[in-house]
A and B are shown apart, each in its own frame.
Chain A
């Protein structure tokens, strides 16, 4: 009957709409990658010392590891207010002033909740207030000042020493 087929057509359209909505939520707009590397020093053919970053392999206490986070925008729209958060890994100590990220404001936290610049973070010790030391930072945050354009990559890096 005519009535019957119309109802069937509407139900099919509704079903299609639901599934396409579900697809849109399985992937975000940023591909986030974190790599751990160490500096490898080598002597080139001219006898000059060169360093390059290689994947972290032989890491023993005292070795400095470079952590690099990259964020690629894979959507058609800009990603706004991009903020990368990274806790200082357990068993590692943050290397002062090593956090970098082009176009970012870097802040730190001692407890994972409150963030501030190196000058703002303080500590209460023996009844007095002092500036927090870099080895006391527990978290690092990079806030990108501008939106991340489609196809563009944001970059954040810091170094930490294995305890």
Chain B
């Protein structure tokens, strides 16, 4: 009859103080790298007629030669599990103007395959299943080029770096596992009226997993069902965004948009006195004073060199010294309204010719002048 102490000793078989064993085995999020050989050898101990025999190791086909140095490991190679995603970075269109070339949109490509991978890049005017950023596509961009940003890329935080004149490329070369890069797509805006104020163009970037050494030309092909334990096969496991993407086909698509913003001008006229009527009742009769208000709004990119040319309407006479820009008197030029010969305009508190984008009083350039009806 074993003592309680003896029984207890037997039960406490293995209490191992473990430091790191509780942690997950060290591996990238994507798993064991492709090309790694997984090996396994079993061993058997036995006795014959009470005599312990030399250990025998296993082999893939069966081994009976005893000894630790005999037998052979059973092995297979880890295959490529390709997972990656292309994403637009900032949920907003890039503002452009008619005829502007090499305008930048930005995407991020993240590789979570179990190894480094090449990716081919192709942009075109193919549309997503639904409009993006609330705007329908109205024209095409042209002359697409691709540039990989030199800015650091974090898979945890999305950012939109600034294009820094990185050279054009055809593909992303060996993007490391669990890493990302920002890709700039540049393209040209058509001229007016194809591209006009308020119109948008949506473009698509297609990112394709491609074979190493093909410089983005040859797409990876998912290996057919037949197994091959000695060659790295390919499995597509990318999911991607539901924007027309087909999952698990080695391709990820993302969409971005260009939005045309130009200057828009509105002009109003108001009779401000006629010599007879009460306020609010003024009529456009000879002798009446009319004030014109011209409002210039920038819906696109900040301007330089903005200038306004205005004519004095027929059958009216300019009221000398009546012109203002943003509420500040603007001196007559050559004895008449200064904008007859063209003059620079600007946002309040901005330099001459600079109209900042925006629709509030802080950005709009407002010119007023008065005439009397002849």
Contact B229 A84 (CB under 8 A): no
Residues on the A chain within 8 Å of B233, using CB: 57-58
* Bound-complex Cα distance A35 to B229 (A): 12
Interface residues of A in 1-40 (CB under 8 A from B): 25-36
Taking A33-B62, A34-B58 as given, write out 8 further A-B residue pairs in contact, using a Cβ cutoff of 8 Å, ordered by the A residue number: A28-B54, A30-B46, A32-B43, A32-B56, A58-B235, A59-B77, A86-B42, A132-B16
Residue of A nearest to B30 (CB): A61
* Bound-complex Cα distance A84 to B43 (A): 6
Contact A58 B227 (CB under 8 A): yes
Residues on the A chain within 8 Å of B46, using CB: 29-30, 79-83, 148
| Stretch from B33-41, B84-92, B131-139, B281-289 that touches the partner | B33-41
Contact B44 A34 (CB under 8 A): no
Task: Show 29 residue pairs from A and B whose CB-CB distance is below 8 angstroms, ordered by the A residue.
Answer: A30-B44, A31-B63, A32-B44, A32-B62, A33-B62, A35-B60, A56-B227, A57-B226, A57-B227, A58-B223, A58-B235, A60-B237, A61-B32, A62-B31, A67-B42, A79-B47, A81-B45, A81-B47, A81-B52, A82-B44, A83-B45, A85-B45, A87-B40, A89-B38, A91-B32, A91-B78, A109-B14, A116-B14, A163-B25
Contact A162 B32 (CB under 8 A): yes
Contact B79 A114 (CB under 8 A): no
Any chain A CB within 8 A of the CB of B18? yes
Residues on the B chain within 8 Å of A72, using CB: 62
Contact B78 A61 (CB under 8 A): yes
Contact A33 B59 (CB under 8 A): yes
Interface centre among A26, A33, A121 (most CB of B within 10 A): A33
Residues on the A chain within 8 Å of B22, using CB: 123, 125, 136
* Bound-complex Cα distance A116 to B191 (A): 79
Residues on the B chain within 8 Å of A91, using CB: 25, 27, 32, 36, 38, 78
Any chain B CB within 8 A of the CB of A75? yes
Contact A123 B21 (CB under 8 A): yes
Any chain A CB within 8 A of the CB of B66? yes
Residues on the A chain within 8 Å of B61, using CB: 33
Number of A interface residues at 8 Å Cβ cutoff, please give it: 64
Any chain A CB within 8 A of the CB of B17? yes
Q: Mark B58-83, 1 if CB is under 8 A from A, else 0.
A: 11111111100001001111111100
Interface, chain B (partner A; CB < 8 A): 11, 13-18, 21-22, 25, 27, 30-32, 34, 36, 38-50, 52-54, 56-66, 71, 74-81, 114, 223, 225-229, 233, 235, 237
Given known A-B contacts A32-B43, A58-B227, A91-B32, A110 and B21 have beta carbons under 8 A apart: yes
Contact B44 A71 (CB under 8 A): yes
Contact B32 A89 (CB under 8 A): no
Residues on the A chain within 8 Å of B235, using CB: 58, 60
Residue of A nearest to B47 (CB): A80
Given known A-B contacts A60-B114, A61-B31, A80-B47, A162 and B78 have beta carbons under 8 A apart: yes
Contact A32 B79 (CB under 8 A): no
Residues on the B chain within 8 Å of A29, using CB: 46, 48, 53, 64
B6 CB to closest chain A CB (Å) equals 16
Q: Mark A78-120, 1 if CB is under 8 A from B, else 0.
A: 1111111111011111000000000000000111001110001
Any chain B CB within 8 A of the CB of A51? no
Interface centre among B47, B60, B228 (most CB of A within 10 A): B47
Given known A-B contacts A56-B227, A60-B235, A30 and B16 have beta carbons under 8 A apart: no
Residues on the B chain within 8 Å of A89, using CB: 38-40
Contact B31 A80 (CB under 8 A): no
Residues on the A chain within 8 Å of B79, using CB: 58-60
* Bound-complex Cα distance A123 to B39 (A): 27
Contact B31 A162 (CB under 8 A): yes
The 10 closest A-B pairs by CB, nearest first: A57-B227, A61-B31, A60-B81, A116-B13, A34-B58, A33-B62, A124-B17, A28-B66, A114-B14, A120-B13
Any chain B CB within 8 A of the CB of A149? no
Any chain B CB within 8 A of the CB of A129? yes
* Bound-complex Cα distance A33 to B14 (A): 30
Residue of B nearest to A28 (CB): B66
Contact B13 A59 (CB under 8 A): no
Q: Mark A49-77, 1 if CB is under 8 A from B, else 0.
A: 00000111111111001010111101101
Contact B63 A33 (CB under 8 A): yes
Q: Mark A140-163, 1 if CB is under 8 A from B, else 0.
A: 000000001000000010000011
B266 CB to closest chain A CB (Å) equals 62
Residue of B nearest to A82 (CB): B46
* Bound-complex Cα distance A129 to B15 (A): 8
